[in-house]
Amino acid sequence: MSRTFYITTPIYYVNDVPHIGHAYTTLAADVLARYRRLMGDKVFFLTGTDEHGQKVEKAANSAGETPLELADRVMKRFDSLWAKLGIEYSDFIRTTQERHKAGVSHIFSQLMNKGDIYLGEYEDWYCTPCETFWTETQLIDGKCPDCNRPVEKLKEESYFFRMSAYQEQLLAHIEANPDFIQPKSKRNEILAFVKEGLRDLSVSRTTFNWGIPVPGNDRHVIYVWFDALSNYITALGYPDQSGNFKDFWPVDVHLIGKDILRFHAVYWPTFLMAAGLPLPKKVFAHGWWTVEGQKMSKSLQNVVEPNMLIDKYGVDAVRYFLLREVPFGLDGDFSHAALVNRINSDLANDLGNLLNRTTAMINKYFAGVMPPCGELDDTDSAYRAKSVAMLEGVAGQMGELAFSKALQCIWEVISAGNKYIDETAPWTLAKDPGKRERLATVMYCLAESQRLVYSLLAPFMPATSAKGLDYLGVTSAPDQATLAWGGLAAGTNITKAEALFPRIEERSE
C-alpha cells in the first residue's frame, strides 16, 4: 500500500499580486510534492487564495470593484503563474467557495456549542494591514510589532476563542514533538511565546462585512485567520471525515513563510484541539527574500515579478535558482547577477556540458548506440558508488526539506562526472582498438550516472529532466523502480544533446 503525503502552501491574499515570495513557497511545495510522487506516495498538494477580510474589502473599494470581482481577477493571476511555473497542485481552494464557507461555519458552531467560543467585549490596539489585535505591551514604539505601521484603538463586541484553555496542551505537544515546528530556531521562538501565556483570541469582527457570518449572529463576521486556517481541512471535505479527510489528515507539512508562523503553530493547533482533531505533523517556516539587499515593497518598486523572470531566463532556471541559492529556512537575497551566475556555472558549465560531452562521445565512438558495460575498474566503481550514494543523500535531505543540500548532492555527482572524463581520457582510449571494451564501460558509466542525475532532477526541473532523459534514450518517466544503477540497456539510442542552458553573456540590468 502506498503512503499518503499531504502538503499545503499558505492561501495568498488577493489584495496583492503574486511576487517572487509567493512563488517561492508554492515552488518548494511543488518540488516536495513531485519528489514524494516520484517515491511512490499518493500526494495531495493544496494551494489557494484567501479572499475575505478588511484588507480585501478596502482594496476592492479603492479599485471600484466588489470584493468578489477583485478576488476573481487576482485569483486568476495566481493560478496562471502557477501554470507557468510548472506547479502541479491537486486542489486550489478559494475561501469564497461554498464548500469552504460551510466547513468554517460548522467548525465555528461546533466550538460555540461546546463553550470554546463565547461572546464578550474587546478593546485593544488593532493593526489593519496585519488584521491583528495587539496589547499595549506588545506594541513597539506605539506601532505594530510585525509591520511597524500605526495601530488604532478598537472597542467592539466580539466572539472569543478560549485559547488560554489550550496553553498547557499545546506546550506539551511542542515539547513532545521536536519536529513539529521547524526550523529549530523558530520552534524556540514559539515555545517562548506560548510560555508567556496565551490569551483568549478575538475571532469575530463587526467593523466590516466581507467575511463568513457568525452562525446565528450575522452582525459579526468570522475573523479572517479563523476562516483562512480552516482551508486546510475544508479542502479535504471536512466536516465529512471520510474520503480525502480520512486519507490525508493530519497534514504532513504546512509550508509557510516565517511571517505567519504564530498563526500556524499557535492559533491553528489550538483550534484543532478544540475541534478534537489531530494536529499537523509539521509546520515549516522558511525565510524571507530581499531584493538586491532591500526589503521587497511596492513603494520601493523593487518587487520581483516571477512572470518576467521566467520569460527572460526560463522556468527551470528560475526553479533551480530559488531552491539552490538559499538554504531553506534562512533568509536570502535575490539578485539578477546571482541568478545569471548560477545559470552559467551550475547549469551551462557543469550540468549541460557533461551531457554534451557524453552524448557527443557515444555518437562519435559508438554511432549513438549504447554499448554494453564491461568490468568496472576502481575509478569506475568509485564513480558508480558516488552516483548510487546520491539517491540516499537526496532522500535524506528531502526528508529535512533541505532543498539546496539535495541539489548539492546531485551536483557533486555532476562534478564527479566531469572529473571522471578527465581521469579516464576517453579520447586516448579511442585511439587504441584494444581498449574498445574499456571505452564502452566508461561511456556506460557516464550515461548511467546521468540517467540517475536527470531522474532526480525531475521534481526540481521537470522539463530539463525530461529532455536529458530523452537524449539518453529513456522514454518512460522515472519512478522508484528506475532509481537504481544499471537501468540503461545496451543498444539504447543516444542522441547528441543540444546545449540545455546556453551561457548568458550580457550582464543583466
Q: Among 5, 6, 7, 12, which residue interacts with ligand ME8 (rule: CB under 6 A)?
A: 12
Query: Strands across the sheet with 152-161, in order?
Result: 132-134, 117-127, 152-161, 201-202
Residue 93 touching ligand ME8 (CB under 6 A): no
Pick from 263, 357, 333, 310: nearest CA to 461: 310
Least distance (Å) between residue 371 CB and ligand ME8: 48
Handedness of CA 455, 457, 458, 463 (dihedral sign): negative
Strands 289-291 and 332-334: parallel
Q: Of 63 and 388, which CB lies nearer to ligand ME8 in the complex structure?
A: 63
Residue 259 touching ligand ME8 (CB under 6 A): yes
Q: Select the span of 6-14, 86-94, 201-209, 340-348 touching ligand ME8 (CB under 6 A).
A: 6-14
Query: CA angle 24-465-360, nearest 5°?
Result: 135
Contact 482, 455 (CB under 8 A): yes
The residue number whose beta carbon is nearest to ligand ME8 equals 21
C-alpha distances in Å from residue 361, one per residue of 282, 358, 439, 471:
47, 5, 10, 13
Residue 289 touching ligand ME8 (CB under 6 A): yes
Least distance (Å) between residue 170 CB and ligand ME8: 18
Residue 108 touching ligand ME8 (CB under 6 A): no
C-alpha distances in Å from residue 408, one per residue of 33, 390, 393, 394:
19, 10, 10, 9
Q: Of 234 and 450, which CB lies nearer to ligand ME8 in the complex structure?
A: 234
Q: Select the span of 16-24, 84-92, 304-312, 434-442 touching ligand ME8 (CB under 6 A).
A: 16-24
Distance CA 420, CA 445 (A): 10
Residue 257 touching ligand ME8 (CB under 6 A): yes
The strand pairing partners of 115, in sequence order, are none
Residue 7 touching ligand ME8 (CB under 6 A): no
Distance CA 337, CA 353 (A): 21
Number of H helices and number of E strands within the chain?
20, 16
Q: Among 5, 7, 10, 108, which residue interacts with ligand ME8 (rule: CB under 6 A)?
A: 10
Residue 326 touching ligand ME8 (CB under 6 A): no
Residue 472 in grid coordinates: 539518453
Residue 256 touching ligand ME8 (CB under 6 A): yes
Q: Of 13 and 126, which CB lies nearer to ligand ME8 in the complex structure?
A: 13
Q: Select the span of 13-21, 78-86, 206-214, 346-354 touching ligand ME8 (CB under 6 A).
A: 13-21
Query: CA angle 9-12-18, nearest 5°?
Result: 105
Least distance (Å) between residue 290 CB and ligand ME8: 7
Residue 478 touching ligand ME8 (CB under 6 A): no
Residue 24 touching ligand ME8 (CB under 6 A): yes
How many residues does this entry show for the chain? 509
Contact 54, 208 (CB under 8 A): yes
Residues 195-234 that bind ligand ME8 (CB under 6 A): 228-229, 231
Site track for ligand ME8 across 36-65, x = CB under 6 A: --------------x---------------
Binding site for ligand ME8 (CB under 6 A): 10-13, 16, 21-22, 24-25, 50, 228-229, 231, 256-257, 259-260, 288-289, 296
